[in-house]
């Protein structure tokens, strides 16, 4: 089994890369998706978040009000650290569980947005970084996701710098261009990953 960490800044196009890798046969473990699952209603995770932040972070239906929680934690590094201390161990445990279900020859891709920030690179056999310029990221967040520019800039500023991410990458995918230039690069990366997985399996 080859364990791959996949990361990239917000708006860099990491989701598109993970979608392509899955279409080629990768086993995807999506940290963001798991992070949502561990704070669903009735989970110990949600109870811990409410205890730390108060019931005002819940919607009328009793689910987590993500925009409200986001506006609290992205403006305050200490509150963000509190949230991460609750959610990250839960995500780590669930990720390990999913990974253990993969086969010996599988390429297991861990899609981890904050891989650089949390110093997680040593957990993987190699790290793939989806890279885009800050200008491209900002344009995508505002134009495609409908974010206000100030919010987009705050989200980007809360993450590692482009240089910090590139420094931990074994393979770097340049996603500054249009979608059609992305696919051949991802296919090339997949060929490298399957080659390494075969070597690991020997």
Pairwise CA distance, residues 161 & 165, whole Å? 6
pLDDT score for 188: 97
Write down which residue in 77, 104, 131 finishes a domain. 104
Whether the full predicted model's pTM is greater than 0.85, yes or no, is no
What does DSSP say about strands 27-30 and 126-131: parallel, antiparallel, or unpaired? unpaired
> Are 99 and 126 contained in the same domain?
no
CATH number, residue 39: 3.40.50.300
Pairwise CA distance, residues 63 & 44, whole Å? 13
Q: Which domain holds residue 96?
A: 32-104
Write down which residue in 104, 127, 162 finishes a domain. 104
> Are 75 and 52 contained in the same domain?
yes
> Are 132 and 90 contained in the same domain?
no
Domain count, the chain: 2
> Are 95 and 169 contained in the same domain?
no
> Are 48 and 13 contained in the same domain?
no
> Are 19 and 110 contained in the same domain?
yes
* Helices and strands (H and E) in the chain: how many: 9, 5
> Are 193 and 110 contained in the same domain?
yes
| Tokens of residue 21, six digits | 């890798």
Q: In the Cβ-directed half-sphere of 168, how many Cα atoms lie within 13 Å?
A: 25
> Are 21 and 97 contained in the same domain?
no
Q: How many residues does the chain have?
A: 202
Write down which residue in 104, 132, 156 finishes a domain. 104
pLDDT tens readout for residues 165-191:
999 999 999 999 888 899 999 999 999
Quote the DSSP letter at residue 64.
B
The rounded mean pLDDT for the chain is 93
> Are 136 and 159 contained in the same domain?
yes
Residue 89 CB coordination number (10 Å): 12
Helix axis angle, 134-143 relative to 149-157, nearest 10°? Answer: 140
Residue 107 CB coordination number (10 Å): 23
pLDDT score for 168: 97
> Are 100 and 114 contained in the same domain?
no
> Are 121 and 199 contained in the same domain?
yes
pLDDT tens readout for residues 10-42:
999 999 999 999 999 999 999 889 999 999 999
> Are 125 and 62 contained in the same domain?
no
């Amino acid at each position: 089994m080859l364990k791959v960490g996949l990361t990239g800044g917000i708006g860099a196009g990491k989701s598109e890369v993970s979608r392509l890798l899955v279409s080629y046969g990768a086993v995807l473990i999506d940290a963001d998706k798991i992070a949502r699952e561990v704070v669903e209603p009735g989970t110990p995770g949600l109870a811990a978040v409410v205890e730390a932040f108060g019931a005002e972070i819940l919607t009328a239906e009793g689910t987590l009000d993500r925009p409200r929680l986001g506006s609290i934690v992205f403006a305050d590094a200490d509150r963000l650290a509190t949230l991460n201390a609750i959610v990250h161990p839960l995500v780590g445990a669930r990720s390990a569980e999913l990974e253990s279900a993969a086969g010996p020859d599988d390429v297991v891709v861990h899609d981890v947005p904050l891989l650089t920030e949390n110093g997680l690179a040593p957990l993987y056999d190699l790290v793939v970084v989806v890279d885009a310029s800050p200008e491209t990221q900002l344009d995508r967040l505002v134009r495609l996701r409908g974010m206000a520019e100030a919010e987009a800039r705050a989200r980007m500023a809360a993450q590692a710098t482009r240089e910090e991410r590139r420094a931990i990458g074994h393979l770097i995918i340049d996603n500054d261009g249009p979608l059609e230039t992305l696919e051949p690069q991802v296919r090339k990366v997949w060929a490298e990953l399957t080659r390494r997985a075969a070597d690991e399996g020997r």
